[in-house]
C-alpha cells in the first residue's frame, strides 16, 4: 500500500499543472498549485500517506456533508428534507434550463451553495456564532482532532468578496426560504467553508461516513447509520457538482470536493480517503485529486458499481 501511494503520487503529480488554484476568493489564490497530498485510513486501523498530506487548507465545500449531518442530528430527516431536497438537478426530466417558476425546497440540494446556505438555518443555536461553534466542534469530533480551527484570513476574504453567495441568499430570502438575516446566515456559511483541515482530517471524517457513523478509535457511534446512508447517497449523486456523473463512472465512490483543493472520498465499510491538490478544473474540482482517486479505485477495486 505504501508503494501504491508513492506510485500514485509520482503518476499524478504532473496533473497538478493541468489546473488552476481558485482566485475568486482572493486568499485562495495564494495556494501552491503543485501541492498533492494523499491520506488513506483503512477499516483495519492502518493508515497510509504520501506527499503534502500534512499541509493545511480550508475545507470549503467539503463542509457541506458535515453541515448536512449536523442538521440531520438536530432536526431529523423529515424536517431537513422539507427544507432542502435531495435531487441532483432539482429539475423535471423535460425541463428547459431557464425557468421563472418559484424556487422550491425540492430544487435545492445540500451539496451546492444555495442548499448549504439554507442548511445553516437548520443548525441549532441561539446565535449564528453558536451554530458555527457547534459545527466546528462536530467537525473536530468527526476528525478526532481538537485542534481544527477557523482560518480567519480566508473567512474574511470570502466575506468581503462573496457577492454570488449573497445573491443566492437573497434569492432564498425573496422566495420566503430564509427566515433569518442574510448576513448572519452567510457569516456562518463563510466560516464553515473556512475551517482549516489537512488530508488526514478529511480521511478521518470520511472514515466515519464509511463506517456507518462509528468512530474508529473510540468505537463511539457519532451519528446513526441511516444518516451515513443519506449523506453518502447525496455525495454520490452530487458531491462533485456537475462533474458527479463523470466521477461516478471513473471512480465510483461517494466523494465531496472543495475549492480549497480538498476531496473527501468514502469507500463504504472499507476506507476513508483525504486528498489535497489545489489546482482545480473548470468545475472547481481538484484535477490531480480526481486522478489519484481514479487510479486508487481501479487498482483496489473500490468502485461500488
The footprint of ligand GLN (CB under 6 A) covers: 60-61, 113, 158, 165, 193, 258-259, 284
The least distance separating ligand GLN from the CB of residue 169, rounded to whole angstroms, comes to 11
What is the set of active-site residues? Answer: 61, 64, 189, 241, 259
The CA distance from 233 to 255, in Å, is 10
The least distance separating ligand GLN from the CB of residue 58, rounded to whole angstroms, comes to 8
Nearer to ligand GLN, 158 or 294 (CB): 158
The least distance separating ligand GLN from the CB of residue 139, rounded to whole angstroms, comes to 15
Q: Position of cell 472520498? A: 265
Contact 50, 5 (CB under 8 A): yes
Contacts of 159 (CB under 8 A, 6+ apart): 186, 187, 190
Nearer to ligand GLN, 193 or 228 (CB): 193
Cα separations in angstroms, 296 against 50, 94, 115, 128, 182: 13, 37, 31, 39, 41
The least distance separating ligand GLN from the CB of residue 294, rounded to whole angstroms, comes to 20
Cα separations in angstroms, 60 against 64, 115, 128, 243: 8, 14, 18, 17
The CA distance from 38 to 274, in Å, is 6
Nearer to ligand GLN, 211 or 285 (CB): 285
Residue 58 phi/psi, 5-degree rounding, is: -90, 145
Nearer to ligand GLN, 213 or 258 (CB): 258
Nearer to ligand GLN, 85 or 115 (CB): 115
- Chain centroid offset of residue 15 CA: 21
The least distance separating ligand GLN from the CB of residue 101, rounded to whole angstroms, comes to 25
Q: Which residues pair with 58 in a beta bridge?
A: 196
Positive or negative, the Cα torsion across 193, 148, 155, 259? Answer: negative
H or E segment to which residue 158 belongs: helix 152-161
Amino acid at each position: 500500500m505504501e508503494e501504491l501511494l508513492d506510485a500514485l503520487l509520482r503518476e499524478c503529480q504532473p496533473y497538478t499543472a493541468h489546473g488552476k488554484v481558485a482566485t475568486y476568493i482572493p486568499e485562495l489564490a495564494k495556494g501552491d498549485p503543485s501541492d498533492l497530498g494523499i491520506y488513506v485510513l483503512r477499516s483495519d486501523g492502518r493508515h497510509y500517506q504520501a506527499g503534502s498530506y500534512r499541509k493545511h487548507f480550508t475545507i470549503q465545500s467539503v463542509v457541506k456533508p458535515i453541515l448536512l449531518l449536523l442538521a440531520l442530528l438536530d432536526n431529523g430527516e423529515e424536517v431537513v428534507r422539507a427544507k432542502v431536497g435531495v435531487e441532483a438537478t432539482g429539475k423535471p426530466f423535460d425541463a428547459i434550463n431557464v425557468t421563472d417558476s418559484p424556487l422550491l425546497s425540492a430544487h435545492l440540494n445540500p451539496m451546492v451553495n444555495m442548499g448549504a446556505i439554507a442548511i445553516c438555518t437548520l443548525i441549532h443555536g441561539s446565535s449564528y456564532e453558536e451554530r458555527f461553534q457547534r459545527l466546528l466542534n462536530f467537525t473536530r469530533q468527526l476528525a478526532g482532532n481538537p485542534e481544527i480551527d477557523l482560518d480567519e484570513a480566508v473567512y474574511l476574504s470570502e466575506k468581503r468578496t462573496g457577492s454570488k453567495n449573497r445573491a443566492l441568499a437573497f434569492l432564498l430570502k425573496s422566495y420566503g426560504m430564509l427566515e433569518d438575516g442574510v448576513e448572519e446566515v452567510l457569516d456562518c456559511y463563510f466560516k464553515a467553508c473556512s475551517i482549516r483541515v489537512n488530508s488526514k482530517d478529511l480521511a478521518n471524517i470520511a472514515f466515519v461516513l464509511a463506517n456507518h457513523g462509528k468512530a474508529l478509535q473510540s468505537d463511539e457511534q457519532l451519528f446513526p447509520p441511516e444518516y451515513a446512508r443519506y449523506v453518502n447517497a447525496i455525495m454520490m449523486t452530487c458531491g462533485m457538482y456537475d462533474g458527479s456523473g463523470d466521477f461516478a463512472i471513473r471512480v465510483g465512490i461517494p466523494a465531496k470536493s472543495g475549492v480549497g483543493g480538498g476531496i473527501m472520498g468514502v469507500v463504504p465499510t472499507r476506507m476513508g480517503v483525504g486528498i489535497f491538490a489545489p489546482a482545480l478544473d473548470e468545475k472547481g474540482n481538484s484535477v490531480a485529486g480526481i486522478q489519484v482517486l481514479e487510479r486508487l479505485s481501479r487498482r483496489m477495486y473500490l468502485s461500488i458499481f
